[in-house]
Structure 1
Amino acid sequence: MPHACKVSEVIELLQQHQHDDFVLCSVWYEDDVRNVDASATDEEARAALRHAASHHDAEQGINWFTLEAALEAIRQ
């Protein structure tokens, strides 16, 4: 299950595996949220990433529309 966290937490998770293990990663940043809406604050961007990780449609994955919807949801 995707989750939003700090880079240090991602590194910690990855260190639990062998270097030649295969993984699938999709990385989105606070700047990606700001690309959807430049007025997004740091707090809003982080909240939108957390919301997107927890509430996205698994069949659609996380994409630009997901980030836009997540930002709208946390602003309500």
Structure 2
Amino acid sequence: MYALMGLTDATIVALVMYPLTYSKDWDGGYKNTKYKISYDEYRERADILHEEFQIPVFLLGDEQHMDALSQMIIDFF
């Protein structure tokens, strides 16, 4: 994110998390199997990102999150 801020004059007002991830194999590697993250997984990752960057983190495809993000963008401008 810091690279994005350094390369452009844009203001980053939020992050949006993609809701799919890969399964981990028994040896710690990643399989080619995608699964939808749980709300708890989203919350854990979002808390880490929010703490680091101090901006909201929304979950892509969640209707309430997308409505809140849309309103946040409208309010920003």
Which of the five TM-score ranges fits, normalised by the shorter chain? Answer: under 0.3
TM-score (norm 2): 0.27
TM-score (norm 1): 0.28
Of structures 1 and 2, the one scoring higher in RCO (CA 8 A, sep 6+) is 1
Structure with the larger strand share? 2
Structure with the larger helix share? 1
